[in-house]
Amino acid sequence: MCADKWINELWKRKHHIFILIILLFVFWLSWHTYSGRMWIPSLSFYCSLNFDHVRKDGSYLDHLLEIRLPRMNYSQPNIMNPPRTDVLVMTPWFAPIIWDGTFSTDILNQQFKQRDVRVGLTLFAIKKYVVFLQLFLETAEKFFMVGYKVNYYVLTDRPEAVPNVTLKEGRSVVVLKTQSNARWQDISMRRMEMISLFAKKQFIGEVDYIVCVDVDMKFSDHVGVEILSDVFGTLHPGFYKGQRQRFTYERRSESQAYIASDEGDFYYAGGFFGGTVEEVYKLTNHCSHAILTDKANGIEAIWHDESHLNKYLLTHKPTKILSPEYLWDNNMGVPEILKKRRFVAVPKNHNQIRNK
């Protein structure tokens, strides 16, 4: 009898009890993230949902991946005898500039193999540009990230024209159907938007790094994990020696890509940039919005997506910079400082290949 009464009493107050349980739960979550200095319930609750409490507790430190190099044989780095003195190998914000002779592929491979990194390469082949795919993919199999998992993301309006190239194990071609644009400037610029969309939708779950390149290119020497970093850009082969005033940045202040004549570090090429999927998402999302803003304001940056990339990398400094070894054009000859030509423009017959 007595127990029945109690249950009846509780049942009447079920709403109060429910609210009390919720409050206790919130308090419990907050307690776990209490910083010890400040009590910010809303923030704590938010952090709990982000699993920050797991990090704060510190036990995860015992489960971190250890990268341990084996005993190795390589020549000692020598402070008094730097490998390159003819070119700049470090920016003022301490981003290395990657030239032949400055890195050991063996050491880097030991580190990146243990992390089992996966690399995505984005390639746009719209309209007639599908003709470049065969040579691109064949040479990439020889020189690009050999020994790593690679996804070639081919964005094209002509999936049936993507050639069947034999790939090494762990590497695949992923065809992503996209629309083409009437104006070639839009084809080039829309790459930013498409990369950001697929980064969110697909790349984030499949690869660790994204490398974004032109398709009218071929590999002719090693391009490996030395290029990988949070955000990287490549020195344009036409401007690496130049003065900032002479760079073909967007100079009209109405454009989002505007850079003043007394600003700028380098002129980066639109045909080779990349980074972690997160950073590439930030970069391409930012640039595609800047392109849309320009469009709304009736202005188009002088070198399209390349102008916006240059503005982004001025205000968000890259963590690595690739020398023009990584994007060369044989029309520029072969200067003394260029020990290797790793990724080279394929000459194109502009009348035949380009859309009027």
Q: Give the residues lining the site for ligand 4GW (CB under 6 A).
A: 124-127, 129, 184, 187-188, 214-216, 271, 354-355
Does residue 306 have an active-site annotation? Answer: yes
355 contact choice in Mn ion, ligand 4GW, none (CB below 5 to 8 Å, kind-dependent): ligand 4GW
Cα→Cα distances 64→48, 61, 199, 349, Å = 21, 6, 26, 52
Picking from 277, 273, 260, the residue whose alpha carbon sits closest to that of residue 313 is 273
Distance of CA 148 to the CA centre of its chain: 17
Nearer to ligand 4GW by Cβ, of 184 and 258: the residue is 184
Alpha-carbon torsion, ordered 182, 185, 187, 192, to 10 deg = -140
127 contact choice in Mn ion, ligand 4GW, none (CB below 5 to 8 Å, kind-dependent): ligand 4GW
Alpha-carbon distance 14 to 22, whole Å?
Answer: 12
Nearer to ligand 4GW by Cβ, of 120 and 271: the residue is 271
Distance of CA 35 to the CA centre of its chain: 34
Q: Is 279 in the site for Mn ion (CB under 5 A)?
A: no
Q: How far is the CB of 145 from ligand 4GW (least distance, A)?
A: 19
Nearer to Mn ion by Cβ, of 216 and 230: the residue is 216
**Residue range at the interface with Mn ion (CB under 5 A); choices 35-43, 67-75, 214-222, 251-259:** 214-222
249 contact choice in ligand 4GW, Mn ion, none (CB below 5 to 8 Å, kind-dependent): none
Q: How far is the CB of 328 from ligand 4GW (least distance, A)?
A: 12
Place of tokens 């609210």: 19
Quick one: DSSP state of residue 64? P
Q: Active-site residue among 226, 250, 306, 325?
A: 306
Alpha-carbon distance 333 to 352, whole Å?
Answer: 25
Quick one: DSSP state of residue 200? I
Q: Is 135 in the site for Mn ion (CB under 5 A)?
A: no
Nearer to Mn ion by Cβ, of 89 and 327: the residue is 327
Nearer to ligand 4GW by Cβ, of 34 and 184: the residue is 184
**Residue range at the interface with Mn ion (CB under 5 A); choices 80-88, 93-101, 102-110, 212-220:** 212-220
* Residue 93 contacts residue 318 (beta carbons within 8 Å): no
Nearer to ligand 4GW by Cβ, of 186 and 278: the residue is 186
Q: How far is the CB of 208 from ligand 4GW (least distance, A)?
A: 23
**Residue range at the interface with Mn ion (CB under 5 A); choices 102-110, 208-216, 256-264, 276-284:** 208-216
SS3 state of residue 106? helix
Instruction: Count other C-beta atoms under 10 Å from residue 67's C-beta.
Output: 11
Nearer to ligand 4GW by Cβ, of 112 and 343: the residue is 343
Q: How far is the CB of 192 from Mn ion (least distance, A)?
A: 15
Cα→Cα distances 270→52, 211, 307, Å = 37, 12, 8
Interface residue with Mn ion among 52, 138, 157, 216 (CB under 5 A) is: 216
Q: How far is the CB of 269 from Mn ion (least distance, A)?
A: 9
Q: What are the structure tokens assigned to 139, written together?
A: 């040479």
Q: How far is the CB of 315 from ligand 4GW (least distance, A)?
A: 23
Q: Is 230 in the site for Mn ion (CB under 5 A)?
A: no
How many residues make up the chain in this entry? 356
184 contact choice in ligand 4GW, Mn ion, none (CB below 5 to 8 Å, kind-dependent): ligand 4GW
Alpha-carbon distance 236 to 285, whole Å?
Answer: 22
Q: Is 214 in the site for Mn ion (CB under 5 A)?
A: yes
| Angle (nearest 5°) at CA 96 between 91 and 99 | 110
Q: Is the dihedral of CA 145, 149, 154, 155 positive or negative?
A: negative
Residue 172 CB burial class (10 angstroms; 0-12, 13-18, ≥19): exposed
Tell me the number of residues near Mn ion by CB under 5 A: 2
**Binding site residues, Mn ion, CB under 5 A:** 214, 216
Task: Tell me which residues are annotated as active site.
Answer: 306
